[in-house]
Structure 1
Amino acid sequence: MPMRYTFGGDEHLFVECSEEMSLEAFFASLSMTNGVRQAAIKGVTEICPANASFQIKFDPDIIDPADMLREVQAIEAAAARAEPVISTRIIEIPVFYGDPWTHETLMRFRERHQDPAGTDLDYAARVNNYGTVEDFIAAHAGSPWFVSMVGFVSGLPFMYQMVERQRQIQVPKYLRPRTDTPRLTVGHGGCFGCIYSVRGAGGYQMFGITPMPIYDPTQSISYLKDFMVFFRPGDIVKFKPIDRDAYDQAVEDVDKGRFTPPIREVLFDLREFQKDIDGYNAKLEEALHGH
């Protein structure tokens, strides 16, 4: 679809790249926001990327809304010709699936769930046609995830699974949102995965918890000293299932400043990925572990 432009009052321009989420739509949004940033248009005060859209805030006393629209439409034409290649990071995130804290929480809110008789993992495995919870966890952790946007709550990443559309995990949100979700819960709603950066309300299915903080406003955690938010759009996440002992050890390592998430810089080429998704994902994992 052609990009759709809408004004929000006289200070915001909303640009919809696609009506549905896909890596192609994300790359279009990313190319556009990068182009707007590089153009350094006078009057632009904020650029907010999302999964398949973005919003620009500008000062109408400095740039007229019609001129703002023309500037961004010119960038759209240039972005359409750009190569779909980005320099990004692949990051390994440990996850304790079926942990006791999210389990206690989900049991407190069963009356708000589609399947009160089971757990969120039971339900997700069943609606995605996996024979066992273990099979479902293997699929969830078996392929990488693209961070398509960060926000809604400070530092919360929305993640899109890097497999063919028919293989993507899809699970509806709770029938009614919970009033509580443990901090660092690994959740899923619709086609998006997420990690809850803080404790609070939520409606995504809860699969497990990570010992790795991703948001630290005090910037006291060793790997968050430079910036309080860990994730940025374009990051690639690979989940690593861990047990209780490994979880407890990682929590201790974080507390003592010894924990550093495995991270590798990589170039991601959308066209090469689309030619052989599983093969490309295998190469990304090799890059992560230095093989």
Structure 2
Amino acid sequence: MANLPYNVILDTLPATGSRLEVLFRQAGDGFLQVEYGREQRANLQDSFRIQVINELILSKNLLGLIETVPGIRTNLFHFDPEVLSVLQLIDTIKAAEESVKSIEDIVVESRLIHLPIAFEDSETKKAVAKYVKEVRPGAPNVINGYNLEYIAMCNGVTVEEIKKMLLGTDWYNSGGGFWPGGGFFWPMDPRCAIVVPKYNPPRTWTPEGTVGIGGPCVFTYTTPTGGGYQLFGRTIPTFQFSQKHPLFKDSPFLYRSADRIRFHEVTEQEILHIYEHVHDKTDYQYQIEEGQIPVKDYLEFYNSEEVQRGAREFQARQKEGTKQAPRL
């Protein structure tokens, strides 16, 4: 018995027409990770399904279930094993999975948050300058004192095209993580699927509200911290520890899983004005719309010939850009 290999996969569900194989992985005494498929992939339809299954599980108010952490293709269940057995939890998740017959039947509750952004603002430029001075002089991702030209180079496009892509799609939050209050935001339009390597090594300082991209994900920095995403601008507060502003009364975090953010460009002065009216005067009105993502409609958009042709053309430009961009 001592020589038998240790297997973290406790159970599985077979793949169906609209769902990958479901793996139930032991992740510690009080943690279970549910994962779609054995191969890494980033596909929003996996996240849409995870969000709906997650809501079904939470609606049951299982005694012993502490919290869940949904992601792009996984969900981590934190539970008290003295109250809720892992086998009981797996059976409950299986029943929820079997109740969702087709991905096209899913409708995801999803707020749309409109966020102003100032590109190439002075505060994030200070962070880049500090990095070059104190961490990596001559960093190849810093061109003319910033990261936007490197982002454009990696993707085979111009800086103006990068800005249009950032403004031209909604960014979907697959779940919180990395830093308190943060979210992992993915482009809903594949024609805007920018990809870029992270800083090497990371920065020691990043201002609150900084917006950057690492790999395929956009991130808005909730507090001053280190970080490794390539920077392109600054947005308004998305976290407030003091919870003084009415929006943060019930939670210091702005984002929820499955939220979408849509950027619109403003001046740096407008961003600074909003900071004052969020943290000091607390009278700024965030623009948030309740909404849904009917997955059938989204898939029709995503799979349309126009969108797929544009995505292929962009991917070809990315491939050439990657060859030209310096390695980090």
TM band (smaller chain) = 0.7 to 0.9
> Residue type matched to 1:232 in 2?
R
Name structure 1 gaps, 5 residues minimum. 280-291
Q: Does 1:27 align with 2:38?
A: no
The residue aligned with 2:264 is 240
1:1-291 pair list within 5 angstroms:
1-18=20-37, 19-81=40-102, 83-110=105-132, 111=136, 113-118=139-144, 119-131=146-158, 133-164=159-190, 167-210=192-235, 212-254=236-278, 255-277=280-302
Pair 59,268 (structure 1): closer, same or farther in 2 beyond 3 Å: same
Q: What TM-score do you get using the length of structure 2 for normalisation?
A: 0.78
Pair 80,185 (structure 1): closer, same or farther in 2 beyond 3 Å: farther
Q: CA deviation at 1:87?
A: 2.5
Confirm or deny: 8 A CA contact 1:44 1:57 kept in the other structure: yes
Give the aligned length.
276
Aligned mates of 1:92, 1:124 — CA distance in 2: 23
Confirm or deny: 8 A CA contact 1:17 1:28 kept in the other structure: no
Task: Determine what percentage of the aligned residue pairs are the same residue.
Answer: 26
> Residue type matched to 2:244 in 1?
S
> Residue type matched to 2:91 in 1?
R
Q: CA RMSD in A?
A: 2.1
Aligned mates of 1:256, 1:45 — CA distance in 2: 36
Confirm or deny: 8 A CA contact 1:114 1:175 kept in the other structure: no
Name structure 2 gaps, 5 residues minimum. 1-19, 305-328
Decide which structure has the larger Cα Rg and report it. 2
> Residue type matched to 1:140 in 2?
L
List structure 1 segments (4+ residues) > 4 angstroms apart after TM superposition: none
Q: What TM-score do you get using the length of structure 1 for normalisation?
A: 0.88
Aligned mates of 2:226, 2:149 — CA distance in 1: 22
Confirm or deny: 8 A CA contact 1:171 1:189 kept in the other structure: yes
Q: CA deviation at 1:257?
A: 2.3
Cα distance per residue 1:195-254 (max 9 Å; x no partner): 0101111111111111x2111121102321232111101111100111123223323332
Q: Secondary structure at the match of 2:100?
A: helix
Q: Secondary structure at the match of 2:165?
A: helix
Q: CA deviation at 1:277?
A: 4.9
